[in-house]
Chains A and B, each alone.
Chain A
Amino acid sequence: MIILFILVSAWCFDGSGFSIAQLLGSSEYLLRFLREAFPPIDEHRLTFEQFHRYWLALIETFQMAFAGTLLGLVIGFILALFASRGLMFESRRSNLLQWSVKMLISLFRTVPDLVWAIIFVMVVGLGAFAGTLTIMVDTIGFCGRFFAEEMEDVDRSSAEALSASGARRFDIVFAAVVPAATPGLITTSLFAFEKAIRSSVVLGLVGAGGIGLELQSLMNWMAYDRAMVIIGMIFALVLVVEQLSSYLRKLVMKNER
């Protein structure tokens, strides 16, 4: 088993073209990038107007991520209700429906976000709207799967007690299953938002709005100093969102004793 693992690893490293010599040999390019990138802020090169523009792009990135996540959460939740085994319908009657919804969610999840971005840029044109749609589809894929699993994992005995007292399935789902799954649903949503923030940053590379577009053009012009400013801003945004989200997650967990 271990030998197999070593063989597979060797095979993969061979195929990946990994080479320390190459990495060291090209260090002059890295040094050049770093030399030109620092100091990133130099009043002769970075004007206030430029910074203001980056700032707006950063805000747009955040807005895209937030709006896209929100839409994705709502749609993902609705799809998850149908993708979850034996939740909305008797399991044997709805196998086909459940399977097709699951497949749809998998499709949303497995196609990478950059590919969706390229498609949406083609459909609705360059800009933040394409990015928002991309984030939405990505979130549906992520939340659809995990929401469904969380609702499947809920202890169904209280749901059965309600079913035995004549409640409708729809009411049982929202009165018993969803409340029991709430902590999981909230933490998944927070993860989805973190993920959305990270991916919204790169969506600009293919023209789907946000700060990635600025970064892309600066890199093309070899304006590494200003690119560095943007990288710093992205770093700060991601850090703030991740900290906030983990704080909220702890808050949810604390309520669960």
Chain B
Amino acid sequence: MVAIVTAEDIAMSYGSTSILKGVSFALEAGESLSLIGSNGAGKSTLIRCLLRLEPITTGRISLFGREIQNLKPSELRSTRCRVGVVFQRHNLVPRLSVLSNVVHGALGRNTQTFGSMISGITLWSHITAGSAHRERAMECLERVNLADLAHRRADSLSGGQSQRVAIARALMQDPDLIIADEPAASLDPIAGEEVMGLFSELCREAGVSLIFSTHNISHAVDFADRMMAMKSGRMSIDCPTGSVDLKALKAEYA
């Protein structure tokens, strides 16, 4: 198997506070990985570093075999485009329709040529998007069971619905990897379960790899093949979810 994400001994600090202190791991294609740890352990920072939303101080991160620190902006974009991202909240543009938000998932694709720069303009909203993109966006919404809300405004949705729209937008990218930073943290338990179930089901179906962070240890165990625990900027556990001692883990991290 080929590793699609590799992190080698990465460190990261804000000023004099060091957040990540030598984290290494690799993720293989099709694998799903959960990330647990208390607040401030560095989960979100690690995720942001993987996407180069934050710069790392030392170490190396590769996505799909390309080292992301040295990519030119256009190369970075085409690499990011292969990664669907879902944050904890505020993923969507509030005043646009659900469908427009899903169409935005295609913005990252082929922005290198002049022609595609022009076609990018049509993707600002579903009204201007071509019928091919609109149909594809509707398909993605159907896969998260929200096709009937396509023309609602994004800020009229519940928390669970917005997260599902964010997932649909990630699917619109046709990603090889989905990264989610506490996608269920702002949801009630039932909606959270639903969103996590959707993630792991879609990833299994499409063979997409998944990295997600969570505070919910059952989610971490149930919806991933492998889990990692972080503690003050270091990786403390890295093991298959099958072999985890749930009780000991809960005592330590919940």
Binding site for B on A (CB under 8 A): 155, 157-158, 160-168, 170-172, 174-176, 179-180, 182-183
Contact = CB atoms under 8 A, between A and B. Distances in A.
B107 A168 contact: yes
B121 A171 contact: yes
Interface of B: 51, 53, 76-85, 87, 89-96, 100, 104-105, 107-109, 111, 117, 120-121, 123-125, 166, 169-170, 173
Nearest to B155: A257
Nearest to A181: B95
Given A161-B166, A182-B95, A168 B111 contact: yes
Contacts of A162: 104, 107
Given A157-B90, A171-B124, A165 B95 contact: no
A155 B154 CA distance: 15
Main SS class of interface, A: helix
A156 B83 CA distance: 20
B96 A179 contact: yes
Contacts of B80: 163-166
B88 to A, nearest CB: 9
Contacts of A155: 90
Contact of B83 (A158, A165, A176): A165
Contacts of A176: 93, 104
Given A158-B90, A158-B91, A175-B125, A164 B96 contact: no
Which among B76, B90, B166 has the greatest number of chain A C-beta atoms within 10 A?
Answer: B90
Q: Which 9 A-B pairs have the closest CB atoms?
A: A166-B108, A166-B81, A166-B80, A167-B107, A157-B90, A166-B77, A164-B85, A175-B124, A158-B93
A158 B94 contact: yes
A166 B107 contact: yes
Contact of A174 (B87, B91, B124): B124
B55 to A, nearest CB: 12
Which among A165, A171, A172, A182 has the greatest number of chain B C-beta atoms within 10 A?
Answer: A165
A211 B115 CA distance: 50
